[in-house]
């Protein structure tokens, strides 16, 4: 089967994850949620003693990252990306406040990005997938068949996110989004940006069904 890749990039709360999920199910494509790998590595680093010494040697750090990645089992399907560690799914833990506060910093490390990218490219070889993240179209899968970039204004993104995180108020969510946006777009390697030839969709004033419909229209044309 010919490899087929659709990328959806955009800032947190732009709707890319929920939209990618709906499209993956509708079109029966495997869904690769790239943020999960950065969140997983952040969780493992937070639990380990390497945090303090991470910049002392890139080689030691790389070994650790490789080791962490070799310890997870991944299931990708149209339902999404499930990370299994020590025999149980850990996706809920990946959305903790501690992880969210640290993940942008960890994901700006070149070694982390290189290893995650290698891992993801191997994972989807020969598959038909939708992938979502920050640099899927610009950096990881520049050969993608179709690229989207979703945006929405900060207020709207914060409102959407606040619904998902019961333990945090709107202002706290907004602050976290702003900090992550800034770090993700200003980092030297693979910053969040509109990939070349991507279709940009502002979802601020669109409801969920309208966004899905719009993307589906473009996908059907490319199939």
Annotated binding site: 10-18
Name the DSSP class of 153.
-
User: According to the binding rule CB under 6 A, does residue 117 interact with ligand C5P?
Assistant: no
**Binding string to ligand C5P for residues 134 to 173, with x set by CB under 6 A, is what?**
xxx-------------------------------------
Let me know how long the chain is: 223
User: According to the binding rule CB under 6 A, does residue 38 interact with ligand C5P?
Assistant: yes
Binding-site member from 158, 177, 180, 219 for ligand C5P (CB under 6 A): 180
Report which of 213, 211, 183, 203 is spatially closest to residue 108, judged by C-alpha positions.
183
User: According to the binding rule CB under 6 A, does residue 81 interact with ligand C5P?
Assistant: no
Does an H or E element contain 160, and which? helix 154-164
Binding-site member from 78, 133, 137, 195 for ligand C5P (CB under 6 A): 133
User: According to the binding rule CB under 6 A, does residue 12 interact with ligand C5P?
Assistant: yes
Task: Give dist(CA 179, CA 7) in Å, integer.
Answer: 24
Is the torsion defined by CA of 121, 107, 185, 166 positive or negative? positive
User: According to the binding rule CB under 6 A, does residue 176 interact with ligand C5P?
Assistant: no
Report which of 196, 190, 46 is spatially closest to residue 110, judged by C-alpha positions.
190
What are the strands, taking DSSP E only, across the chain? 4-9, 30-33, 72-77, 80-85, 88-89, 128-133, 146-151, 199-202
User: According to the binding rule CB under 6 A, does residue 45 interact with ligand C5P?
Assistant: no
User: According to the binding rule CB under 6 A, does residue 115 interact with ligand C5P?
Assistant: no
Pairing of strands 30-33, 128-133: parallel
Binding-site member from 41, 76, 103, 158 for ligand C5P (CB under 6 A): 103
Name the minimum Å distance from CB 107 to ligand C5P: 4
Footprint of ligand C5P (CB under 6 A): 12, 34-35, 38-39, 103-104, 107, 133-136, 180, 184
């Amino acid at each position: 089967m010919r490899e087929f890749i659709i990328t959806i990039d955009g800032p947190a709360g732009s709707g890319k994850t929920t939209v990618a999920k709906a499209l993956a199910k509708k079109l029966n494509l495997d869904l690769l949620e790239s943020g999960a790998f950065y969140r997983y590595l952040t969780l493992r680093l937070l639990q380990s003693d390497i945090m303090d010494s991470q910049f002392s040697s890139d080689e030691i750090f790389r070994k650790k990252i490789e080791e962490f990645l070799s310890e997870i089992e991944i299931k990708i399907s149209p339902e999404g990306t499930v990370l299994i560690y020590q025999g149980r799914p850990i996706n809920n833990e990946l959305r903790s406040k501690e992880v969210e506060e640290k993940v942008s910093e960890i994901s700006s490390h070149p070694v982390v990005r290189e290893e995650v990218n290698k891992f993801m490219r191997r994972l989807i070889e020969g598959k038909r997938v939708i992938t979502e993240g920050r640099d899927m179209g610009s950096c990881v899968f520049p050969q993608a068949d179709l690229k989207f970039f979703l945006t929405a204004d900060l207020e709207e993104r914060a409102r959407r996110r606040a619904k998902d995180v019961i333990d945090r108020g709107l202002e706290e969510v907004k602050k976290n989004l702003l900090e992550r946006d800034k770090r993700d777009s200003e980092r030297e390697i693979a910053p969040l940006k509109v990939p070349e030839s991507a279709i940009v969709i502002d979802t601020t004033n669109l409801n969920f069904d309208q966004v899905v419909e719009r993307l589906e229209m473009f996908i059907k044309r490319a199939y």
